[in-house]
Structure 1
């Protein structure tokens, strides 16, 4: 069964084609810097132990245009992987916010799309592009089953003391205001990999997903018990364009004394803050270049970013009464060794000690980068949300 997985982030789009139940993809690809100068596509076909890589750069204005170009690559180029759209049996879509309506993989219907649209305001950087990709895929693969896998599903095990806000009860019961959590597909996948690596089902793990969007999750015995993102994917860590945690009094002040509208505030905190607002770019690689040039704003942006990670490591260690392993994953977590070092610095009181040489040598796969004396394992684990989505789709359809 050919299952195409589409994982659209706020400024990126990843995809993989699987012939399930095989875990190895037929092809994979990445579109980066969507809506940002320097957009590009990297498309890789796997055949007989070899990789055929095609790269293409150029302006890509939005996710709809990105997906159209990706779909053209699947059936064209030097080694097409499908002869026609009918070769695809199912398309699995990552959808960020499912509210309390969806706790597992879901066949996409008009009603499901309407619910995804209702939640636009709670995930303004993601749900709109998720729905756009669904609509483009429906038109392209008309005979394929469309399936949604929600980021919020893994966090349905969070207990009430962690998911409830200290506001009157009616706002939860009538309006569903609570912590939902996000990046659940990624946290689920890497934590399961860590549990197998540790050979310890009864484990305490902190998963750190660092990309343009960032979140951390406390995972006890394989279940999410707390997570840094909340009602929407704005809270918690400093991110590419999102502020992370901020005192609500700032919002009141900007409304009352600066005349901000709710729309302006949403744009400010979701699209103009984080690394972009402090350091001048939403891309960590750009921030690193600015730091190398001695840019003070970029230096501060990195300090804020790392500091917030350390705060949550401490908090989640307390919540779980200890920690067996911490995991770094996703674009920044896997590729920025300096951020891993900054986030783990001066945490020896928790038994967290990094091996700087091992950290610098990381080049893929699951790797322990903690020192020999570290009581806590520090793991770098590449996330594979696409396979996790394909696996859930395959299970649903079977």
Structure 2
């Protein structure tokens, strides 16, 4: 029985799923919908004291394993990938992985669709690593590990930037000389696999909203917002890299470029030190001096923790206003991602004082919309509908790969 493996290597986690495909009937499998995964799970807490591997499968009860910290020879992500592959070898030894779909954060100007991975493609993706240093190297590590483990499998890259490639020029450019835009210095936008899933979920479950003006807030360790019109991305909070826009777990979000010039020229920061500061030591972690985990910050009595969350909430409100202006109004706001789906208190605080834009939230509905339970969290009479919708990037990875295989 052929298997489809999806690998989604993020900044602090690796998610995966494994799906059985009927032999000789990939086209019908695609038309009839994918079967439920044989197994799915994630390695969370990568980079911390001890990462955890959690797996649910149709033949095994839910399993959890604590992984050792990164050693001198392998990074935390490399060890996490090795743990996932080891589980597959031990628990599904008779199955053959024939298709592997990888999330790749940055596709640059060349990749607006999923693509078969070969040596030239891999080289181009490696050249884009400086534009997504927190993600692209881990995405590429997953590709190399899968290519070594499943040498005969078709390897497919699916890009987070692809969903935003039809942005109008004003949402795609910076106010720099045109030669930089022509060379690829553009506002790409990210989290595209998540936004594609939410756009389709709206089309299926809320078709009237899908045809309107929607802001999707993908809030997690990485956070961004996207403006959709008729299900198509027309603007995003993220730009050239995954640093821009909202503050994140360890990333700064929007910052005056003059600050960076000051740190380089007056404080003696090297490019490597600046990269470490902006990607690894800023955001909620840097502001609080405590953690990048919203759950820990909500439980903390330290004033710095509260201030970090205040800033996060304020920037979310500001971005909702900005993207509403890009859309010319707002019909729906959708929360998704780890924070967006589960952090009731953060959603409540973001929605406070947004009555001016037409949002009338329902505190009781908001309190119950967590742990995978989505749905509306606005009152029936609210002019703007507010929803919580769980995202499924692995589903999009699987479907994109199947479509490419079928096209071949």
Separation in structure 1 between the aligned mates of residue 242 and residue 391 of structure 2, nearest angstrom:
19
Measured on the aligned residues, the alpha-carbon RMSD in Å equals 1.3
The equivalent position to 2:45 in structure 1, one of 8, 14, 33, is: 33
Match of 2:243 in 1: 234
| Deviation of 1:60 (Å) | 4.1
Find the residue that maps to 1:7 and give its secondary structure: strand
Q: CA–CA distance in 2 between the matches of 1:119 and 1:71?
A: 26
Alignment-derived partner of residue 190 in structure 1: 198
Match for 1:171 among 180, 193, 210? 180
Is the 8 Å Cα contact of residues 195 and 203 (structure 1) preserved in structure 2?
A: no
Summarize deviations over 1:173-221 as a string: whole Å, max 9, x none.
1x21010111000011012212322222422111111111111000101
SS in 1 for 2:152: coil
Q: What TM-score, normalized to structure 1?
A: 0.94
Are 2:321 and 1:321 equivalent residues in the alignment? no
Q: Greater CA deviation, 66-75 or 196-205? A: 196-205
Alignment correspondent of 2:296: 286
Deviation at 1:286, TM superposition (A): 2.0
Which residue is 2:283 aligned to? Answer: 274
Pairs within 5 Å for 1:122-161 = 122-161=131-170
1:392 to 369, 379, 400: 400
Task: State the distance in 1 between where 2:278 and 2:293 align.
Answer: 17
Distance 1:299 1:309 in 2: 15
Write the deviation string for residues 251-304 of structure 1: whole angstroms up to 9, x where unpaired. Answer: 1111121111111111111111001101121122222222xxx20110011011
CA positional deviation for 1:83: 2.2
Number of matched residues?
Answer: 386
Match runs of 1:1-398 below 5 Å: 1-20=2-21, 21=29, 22-46=34-58, 52-61=61-70, 62-76=76-90, 80=91, 82-84=92-94, 87-173=96-182, 175-200=183-208, 201-279=210-288, 280-290=290-300, 294-362=301-369, 363-398=371-406
SS of residue matched to 1:207: strand
Moved more, 177-186 or 355-364: 355-364
Q: Report the CA distance between 1:241 and its aligned residue.
A: 0.5
The TM-score, its normalising length taken from structure 2, stands at 0.92
Q: CA–CA distance in 2 between the matches of 1:111 and 1:308?
A: 40
Per-residue CA distance 1:81-117 (angstroms, 9 max, x = gap)? x224x61111100000010110111111111111111
In 2: Cα distance, 1:210 partner to 1:339 partner: 10
SS in 1 for 2:238: coil
In 2, are the aligned partners of 1:23 and 1:387 still within 8 Å (CA)?
Answer: no
Cα distance, 1:27 vs structure 2 = 0.9
Unaligned 5+ runs, structure 1: none
The answer (yes or no) to whether the contact 1:204–1:219 under 8 Å persists in 2 is yes
Secondary structure of 1:157 counterpart:
coil
Q: Which runs of 5+ in 2 are unaligned?
A: 22-28, 71-75
What displacement does 1:23 show?
4.4
C-alpha displacement of 1:330: 1.1
